[in-house]
């Protein structure tokens, strides 16, 4: 079973920041938070991952709360091409290779 909880859907206006929340209240100390997205009819695409510090790359930023029970993925300037289902996954680095997927958040970017 997925160890994360995400809202089923969200809207965001094009050009604005999209903030996608994820709850992982049972996360263990050595479990990382991973984000993937899946654009319709395509394979999942890796976005970012982190343990406890905030992370940023060319695609997004990941903000993890101090107690690590929740996190937020931020797409700073959403475009129509960011419309996708976004999955938040927790896993143990280097051991639990299985990615356990929930239902994700369907993000719709509106013009």
Partner 1 sequence: NAGVMQNPRHLVRRRGQEARLRCSPMKGHSHVYWYRQLPEEGLKFMVYLQKENIIDESGMPKERFSAEFPKEGPSILRIQQVVRGDSAAYFCASSLGPAKNIQYFGAGTRLSVL
Contact 58, 68 (CB under 8 A): no
Question: How many other C-beta atoms are found inside a 10 Å radius of the C-beta of residue 85?
Answer: 19
Place of tokens 């958040």: 105
Of 14 and 102, nearer to partner 1 (C-beta) is 102
Of 45 and 65, nearer to partner 1 (C-beta) is 45
Q: Which residues bind partner 1 (CB under 8 A)?
A: 2, 42-46, 49, 87, 91, 93-95, 97-104
Q: Least Å distance between CB 13 and partner 1?
A: 26
Question: How many other C-beta atoms are found inside a 10 Å radius of the C-beta of residue 101?
Answer: 15
Q: Least Å distance between CB 55 and partner 1?
A: 13
């Amino acid at each position: 079973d997925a160890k994360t909880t995400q809202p089923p859907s969200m809207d965001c206006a094009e050009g604005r920041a999209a903030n996608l929340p994820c709850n992982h209240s049972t996360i263990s100390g050595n479990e990382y938070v991973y984000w993937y997205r899946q654009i319709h009819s395509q394979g999942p695409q890796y976005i970012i991952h982190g343990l406890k510090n905030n992370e940023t790359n060319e695609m997004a930023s990941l903000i993890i709360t101090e107690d690590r029970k929740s996190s937020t993925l931020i797409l700073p300037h959403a475009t129509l091409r960011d419309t996708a289902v976004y999955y938040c996954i927790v896993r143990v680095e280097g051991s639990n290779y299985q990615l356990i997927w929930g239902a994700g958040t369907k993000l719709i970017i509106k013009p």
